[in-house]
């Protein structure tokens, strides 16, 4: 099967789901180009290898090179859902001593926020988790809060939000009202039940169409009332 991959952000981590074979030639070249494109702005990458059925020496070498590059760029590369066959390859070559490999995606994401055997530094824990389906609203809220000095991570869906909530245990959840009311899946129900024990700010349904300055100012005021002001002077993007 030709190699294909799909990427999505989960907080400060980019998950790259790979399917097919990672072998010398076009497949390795495609993966290399994809990782090259991600690296400048996404130095924390998780390769989900659950649907990779074969990897050759060239493919392993590619992963080794990018692991070193990312660690030199103060990032990291981790893998998850590795098949028994590929796990055996890593064991035989003793490369399992340099790769952080996890059974599940959730465990791997949590691993980015914990110390491991790798020389990289764990990602700093955020005190705010923002969950919203609109990419534009998510981008605005993220930068609004970061410019105000808060540590914030974002995601656009509840399954990934549950993973981040478990891994980071933030002080505050900022979430779209529609997602907050969702309980029709196991992930949604679990996330919202866990959020019930935390401070939560629901973004109103009209947040995206309200005046940006007024909506942003009101959100900052609510955040400050719950977790206090940050050490830097808040600013409201126009």
Sequence ranges of the domains in the chain: 4-112, 128-227
Per the CB < 8 A criterion, the answer to whether 118 and 145 are in contact is no
pLDDT along the chain (238 residues), means of 10: 90 94 91 92 93 89 90 90 88 83 93 67 80 90 89 93 91 94 92 94 90 88 87 43
**Which single residue is written with the structure tokens 């907050």?**
180
Total-model pTM: 0.76
Fold assignment, 4-112: Transcription Regulator spoIIAA (3.30.750)
Question: Can you tell me the distance from the alpha carbon of 59 to that of 211, in angstroms, rounded to the nearest whole number?
Answer: 50
3-state secondary structure 112-137: HCCCCCCCCCCCCCCCEEEECCCHHH
| Token pair for 206 | 């009209």
Instruction: For domain 128-227, give the CATH superfamily.
Output: Response regulator (3.40.50.2300)
pLDDT of residue 17: 96
Cβ contacts of 214-223, under 8 Å, gap ≥ 24: 216/140, 216/144, 219/141, 219/144, 219/174, 220/144, 220/145, 220/148, 223/128, 223/145, 223/148, 223/150, 223/172, 223/174
């Amino acid at each position: 099967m030709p190699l294909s991959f799909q990427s999505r952000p989960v907080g400060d981590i980019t998950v790259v789901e790979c399917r097919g074979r990672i072998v010398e030639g076009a497949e390795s070249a495609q993966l290399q180009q994809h990782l090259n494109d991600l690296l400048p702005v996404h130095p924390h990458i998780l390769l989900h290898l659950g649907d990779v059925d074969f990897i050759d020496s060239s493919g392993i070498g590619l992963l080794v090179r990018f692991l070193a590059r990312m660690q030199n760029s103060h990032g990291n590369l981790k893998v998850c859902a590795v098949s028994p066959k590929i796990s055996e390859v890593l064991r035989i070559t003793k490369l399992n001593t340099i790769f952080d490999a996890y059974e599940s995606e959730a465990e791997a994401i949590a691993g980015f926020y914990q110390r491991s055997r790798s020389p990289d530094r764990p990602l700093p824990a955020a005190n705010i988790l923002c969950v919203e389906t609109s990419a534009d609203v998510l981008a605005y809220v993220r930068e609004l809060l970061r410019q105000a000095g808060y540590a914030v991570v974002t995601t656009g869906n509840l399954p990934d939000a549950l993973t981040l909530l478990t891994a980071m245990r933030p002080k505050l959840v900022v979430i779209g009202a529609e997602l907050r009311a969702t309980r029709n899946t196991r992930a949604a129900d679990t996330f919202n039940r866990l959020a019930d024990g935390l401070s939560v700010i629901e973004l109103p349904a009209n947040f995206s169409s309200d005046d940006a300055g007024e909506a942003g100012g009101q959100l900052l005021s609510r955040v400050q009332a719950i977790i206090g002001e940050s050490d830097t002077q808040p600013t409201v993007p126009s």
